[in-house]
Amino acid sequence: MAKQDDLFKKVISHAKEYGYIFQSSEIYDGLSAVYDYAQNGAELKKNIRDYWWKAMVQMHENIVGIDASILMHPTTWKASGHVDAFNDPLIDNKDSKKRYRADVLVEDYCAKIEVKIEKEIKKAQKRFGDTFSKDEFVTTNPRVLGYQEKINTILSRLGKSLENEDLADVKLLIEELEIADPLTGSKNWTDVKQFNLMFGTQLGASADSSMQVYLRPETAQGIFVNFLNVQKTGRMKIPFGIAQTGKAFRNEIVARQFIFRMREFEQMEMQFFVKPGTQKKWYETWKETRLKWHLSLGMGKDNYRFHDHEKLAHYADAAADIEFKFPFGFKELEGIHSRTDFDLKAHEEYSGKKMQYFDHEENKNYVPYVVETSIGLDRMFLAVFANSLKEEKLDNNTTRVVLKLPSVLAPIKAAILPLVKKDGLPEIARKILDELKWDFSTTYDEKDAVGRRYRRQDAIGTPFCITVDHETIDNNTVTIRHRDSMEQNRVKITDLKTIIKKEIDIKSWLQKM
């Protein structure tokens, strides 16, 4: 655990030191769970968004993108169920005055039991060596079975109590498990209360005519209310999808873990409208397609796993998370939800407008079913950033800190470095920069010894450093240094564009899908 905490602390400080993420309004001591993307962070975020948009919109003939507004008519949120049901159960500790999500306290308790299971597995692996079968061990070992049963009993009781709105039982469960405030150890808890996560505000200037509106808590509803507009104007035929990226806001009770859980964040969502009865097939297809998108970035197959939901949201008939191994363990990165016809039907009911599609093949109208893919852009940023940060021991017994970002996502693709600040080398370097910047984001750096400049670019995650030296004057060649291998080759200036393009070309990355 301490190791994980250390790694996470390094991720956070590296993000600040190298111009990726700053605390929002830092000069006023910041605002909890709100962050700003700095010069490199904004580029990385944009590249992730582009990578998603290209895969989802540009590469699918039957998916189009929109950009709906953040403020929507308040009835939207009544219809979607957010006014009545977008709540988290909160509990306060009377001694520490700290506020927690009651369900997260219980889940964290279960996560600790899971760690015990992992320990048993590791011990047995050591004992049995090559003959060890994990599957057999976890299904037969009495201690592991006991732990697993305990987890199942606790989570099933928690699920039932939340479903039945039995908040007194959630508190009883916390007391029975003797769960203490993680910060102070106090077990002096208040009752559990429901807390709506939407931020409300007023639209309009005068008190009489102003209207209570909400900052959208998900981008999905902007797609649902535009379903017929897009279908008609785009002459879309089912199955088809509508995608969008944009800000969402949630007044999260527990706002920790950096950009993992924020109060203002960005989502990349796609709603896929299908014929009723075919949703299971499309749900499986999108689960597979989205996992392939993640794997195409080469961040390690073992870092992902599916978590199928047992307790379903009020709108879903199936749901799964793609979980990623963050520095603090496996957590949800993306959700794939089979949302049935819940949203469109609800909007029909509340607006009195038909939300139906005329199927020419079937010669009938119906409300389509929807399969949704929903990923947090900031969460994806954290996954990419944390997974890329490495500390490497080098042959000469020194270490280097390198951000091995998938090069297609790197904020700066190439740094142009004159070996010295004289003899006409800066002028040649600038000329190369002026040529390359048409195609790639580039930077120029002439300060410090070249070794230090390499380290600086390693830490930023720049895949290529191009050094102009005295030989360049004689034969128009430069050295190109590769971030990951640190290999350096002498190449012609005229070949630079092709070499860089080959490595960062979005097409070749997405073709790995």
**Cβ–Cβ < 8 Å for 410, 50:** no
Report the sign of the C-alpha dihedral through residues 255, 256, 258, 260, in that order: negative
Tell whether residue 189 is a contact of ligand GAP (CB under 6 A). no
Report the sign of the C-alpha dihedral through residues 468, 470, 472, 478, in that order: negative
State the minimum distance, in angstroms, from the CB of residue 248 to ligand GAP: 7
Report the sign of the C-alpha dihedral through residues 41, 44, 50, 55, in that order: negative
Q: How far is CA 143 from CA 118, 146, 150, 157, 177, in A?
A: 12, 5, 11, 21, 19
Query: How far apart, in whole angstroms, are the C-alpha atoms of residue 453 and residue 440?
Result: 19
Query: CA nearest 380: which of 346, 406, 342?
Result: 406
State the minimum distance, in angstroms, from the CB of residue 295 to ligand GAP: 17
**Cβ–Cβ < 8 Å for 161, 167:** yes
Give buried/exposed letters for 318-343 (b at 16+ CB in 10 A, else e). bbbbbbbbbbbebbbbbbbbbbbbbb
Q: Binder to ligand GAP among 334, 341, 343, 469 (CB under 6 A)? A: 334
Residue number, 323 or 348, with CB nearest to ligand GAP: 323
What is the size of the binding site for ligand GAP (CB under 6 A)? 19
What are the tokens at 436? 């390359």
**x/- string (CB under 6 A) for ligand GAP, residues 452-491?**
----------------------------------------
Tell whether residue 220 is a contact of ligand GAP (CB under 6 A). yes
State the minimum distance, in angstroms, from the CB of residue 340 to ligand GAP: 14
Burial degree of 228 (CB within 10 A; 0-12, 13-18, 19+): middle
**Cβ–Cβ < 8 Å for 407, 413:** yes
Tell whether residue 375 is a contact of ligand GAP (CB under 6 A). yes
State the minimum distance, in angstroms, from the CB of residue 8 to ligand GAP: 16
Stretch that binds ligand GAP, among 13-21, 110-118, 343-351, 375-383 (CB under 6 A): 375-383
Stretch that binds ligand GAP, among 49-57, 369-377, 445-453, 465-473 (CB under 6 A): 369-377
Query: How far apart, in whole angstroms, are the C-alpha atoms of residue 262 and residue 36?
Result: 11
Q: Binder to ligand GAP among 89, 246, 335, 368 (CB under 6 A)? A: 335
Q: Binder to ligand GAP among 340, 374, 442, 467 (CB under 6 A)? A: 374
Q: Binder to ligand GAP among 14, 101, 216, 379 (CB under 6 A)? A: 379
State the minimum distance, in angstroms, from the CB of residue 175 to ligand GAP: 28
Residue number, 103 or 372, with CB nearest to ligand GAP: 372
Residue number, 335 or 461, with CB nearest to ligand GAP: 335
Tell whether residue 378 is a contact of ligand GAP (CB under 6 A). yes
Q: Which of residues 248-267 bind ligand GAP (CB under 6 A)?
A: 250, 252, 261-262, 265, 267
| Phi, psi angles (nearest 5°) of residue 120 | -60, -40
* Contacting positions for ligand GAP (CB under 6 A): 218, 220, 250, 252, 261-262, 265, 267, 269, 332-335, 372, 374-376, 378-379
